[in-house]
Amino acid sequence: MANRSCVIRLSRYKNALNRLKALNFVRVFSDNLADAAGVTAAQVRKDFSLFGITGNRRGGYKVDELSDQLNKILGKDQLQEVVVIGMGNIGRALLHYGGLEKSGIKIVAGFDIDPAKFDREGQPPVLPLEDLVSVVTERQVALGVLAVPEYAAQQVSELMLSAGVRGILNFAPICLKAPEGCVVNNINLESELENLIYFVNAANNEK
Amino acid sequence: MANRSCVIRLSRYKNALNRLKALNFVRVFSDNLADAAGVTAAQVRKDFSLFGITGNRRGGYKVDELSDQLNKILGKDQLQEVVVIGMGNIGRALLHYGGLEKSGIKIVAGFDIDPAKFDREGQPPVLPLEDLVSVVTERQVALGVLAVPEYAAQQVSELMLSAGVRGILNFAPICLKAPEGCVVNNINLESELENLIYFVNAANNEK
């Protein structure tokens, strides 16, 4: 079973392949993908071997074939619909985040409890939180982005799960617990900045 | 040397400690922190031992002491200033992201090349990109958030580094290369969603 870091790398390889495709590349070598993803060529080959993807030393990988294989692994062979809960600064930014559609991800609606934020005619629309269950159930949306304040996060995540959401990308500054059969990835801006601070200081101290 | 995942966990322990402090807890056990951070107690102890932090089996850790130690490791014993480059949806949201000040992180200014976005009187102000070098140099800002379009990311990151920024949190959908002496953490929304899709599908297939 692949771990989180491995799957993040697969995304990077896939993105690099898309760029190479646009440049009419037909073949690609693990060294090329390693450069694009900032890892070693051995890591690329190891990641691929986990999924039974093999190239050959002289010919490398065929761009089209490899791209199809990675897209399939990453679930990009079908449109993925996503809802965004919480229309604060981050939630609104994510609702209108460009460039996802071309990669097969569609944000279908935003949700909030504040009537001032509702916008039924918007693209995507912003709807009352009460409508979440019906929208998710009807459209069989499996993914949700959670961008509500900390105090509301656990409760809203349970509502999302009860509606049928199976994967949550959580931007609320709290480490959500994933119940059985559900995946939660936490992105905490404060932690990310702290992480950066730590490594910047560590680099300074090495001098 | 701690790795990225370890430092992210330290942030989580630190956040959990802040909550416990607010509840007037004096002592805490590795099991408590494990629950809060979603890891095992053994992992907590292993992380702490890497930094020479020791508790004792019966008494646990002293909340105040542990909190000070973690804050120091994470560089939170001094104010950290941050600049944000690129005032698109994500950049603007990050510029106004609340809750960082209380944790010792201050966003000092946003930057863009579009005059329509400048706002010198804003809190924080939005300034022309030409001013980046002078602001960063003058205030000795070590950290920057990059939220520009993909095609501009490499060039702007080089400008940031030349100004003296030592750590970049990159939201542009490209995997930036970190030059010597500089740290780059990439957050790619598409990759995060793809990651979620992969694990949701993997969980479904296990059934």
The structural domains of chain A, with segments of one domain joined by +, span: 4-73, 80-191
| DSSP, res B2 | -
Please give the C-alpha separations between residue B122 and each of A89, B92, B96, B117, in angstroms, as whole numbers.
16, 12, 10, 11
Q: Which of A196, A204, A207 is the best mutation test for B, with the most CBs of B within 10 A? A: A196
Interface touch B196/A204, C-beta < 8 Å: no
Query: Chain A residues with CB inside 8 Å of B94's CB?
Result: 89-90, 189
Query: Chain B residues with CB inside 8 Å of A14's CB?
Result: 194
CA distance A59 to chain B (A): 26
- Please give the Cα distance from B74 to B87 (Å, whole number): 28
Q: Is residue A205 predicted with pLDDT exceeding 80? A: no
Q: Which of B169, B197, B204, B205 is the best mutation test for A, with the most CBs of A within 10 A? A: B197
Mean pLDDT of chain A: 89
Mean pLDDT value across residues A128-152: 95
- In sequence order, the 6+-apart residues with CB closer than 8 A to the CB of B58 are none
Mean pLDDT value across residues A144-153: 93
Q: Is residue A111 predicted with pLDDT exceeding 90? A: yes
Query: Chain B residues with CB inside 8 Å of A185's CB?
Result: 192, 195-196
Q: In this predicted structure, what is the pLDDT of residue A18?
A: 86
Q: In this predicted structure, what is the pLDDT of residue B1?
A: 66
Question: Among partner residues A15, A103, A198, which is closest to B75 by beta-carbon distance?
Answer: A198
Walk across the sheet containing A105-112 and list its strands.
A126-128, A105-112, A80-85, A143-146, A167-170, A183-186
In chain A, the residue whose alpha carbon lies closest to the alpha carbon of B166 is A200
- Please give the Cα distance from B44 to A36 (Å, whole number): 34
Mean pLDDT value across residues A18-39: 86
Same fold, B4-73 and B80-191: no
The CA dihedral of B195, A124, A150, A183, to the nearest 10 degrees, is: -30
Interface touch B175/A4, C-beta < 8 Å: no
- In sequence order, the 6+-apart residues with CB closer than 8 A to the CB of A68 are A77
CB A188 within 8 A of CB A194: no
Q: In this predicted structure, what is the pLDDT of residue B143?
A: 95
- Please give the Cα distance from B149 to B86 (Å, whole number): 8
Mean pLDDT value across residues A34-58: 87
Q: In this predicted structure, what is the pLDDT of residue A21?
A: 84
Mean pLDDT value across residues A118-130: 96
Q: In this predicted structure, what is the pLDDT of residue B207?
A: 61
Nearest to B83 by CA among B55, B36, B125: B125
- HEC letters along chain A: CCCHHHHHHHHHHHHHHHHHHHCCCCEECHHHHHHHHCCCHHHHHHHHHHCCCCCECCCEEEHHHHHHHHHHHCCCCCCEEEEEECCCHHHHHHHCCCCCHHHCEEEEEEEECCHHHCECCCCCCEEEHHHHHHHHHHHCCCEEEECCCHHHHHHHHHHHHHHCCCEEEECCCCCCCCCCCCEEEECCHHHHHHHHHHHHHHHHHHC
Q: Which tokens go with B31?
A: 């099991």
Interface touch A189/B15, C-beta < 8 Å: no
Query: Chain A residues with CB inside 8 Å of B175's CB?
Result: 12, 15, 36-38
Mean pLDDT value across residues A111-138: 96
ipTM: 0.85
Q: Is residue A207 predicted with pLDDT exceeding 70? A: no
Phi, psi of B62 (to 5 degrees): -80, 125
For the segment B110-160, what is each residue's pLDDT rounded down to a tens digit?
Answer: 999 999 999 999 999 999 999 999 999 999 999 999 999 989 999 999 999
Q: In this predicted structure, what is the pLDDT of residue A1?
A: 66
Question: Among partner residues A73, A90, A97, which is closest to B198 by beta-carbon distance?
Answer: A73
- Please give the Cα distance from B166 to B56 (Å, whole number): 38
Query: Chain B residues with CB inside 8 Å of A103's CB?
Result: 190
Three-point CA angle A160, A165, A169, nearest 5°? 85
In chain B, the residue whose alpha carbon lies closest to the alpha carbon of A9 is B191
- In sequence order, the 6+-apart residues with CB closer than 8 A to the CB of A23 are none
Residue numbers of chain B with a pLDDT score lower than 70: 1, 207
Pick B151 or A175 by higher pLDDT: B151
CB B146 within 8 A of CB B94: no
Interface touch A183/B196, C-beta < 8 Å: yes
Q: Which class does domain B4-73 fall in?
A: mainly alpha
Q: Which class does domain A80-191 fall in?
A: alpha beta
Pick A105 or A77 by higher pLDDT: A105
Radius of gyration (C-alpha) of chain B in whole angstroms: 20
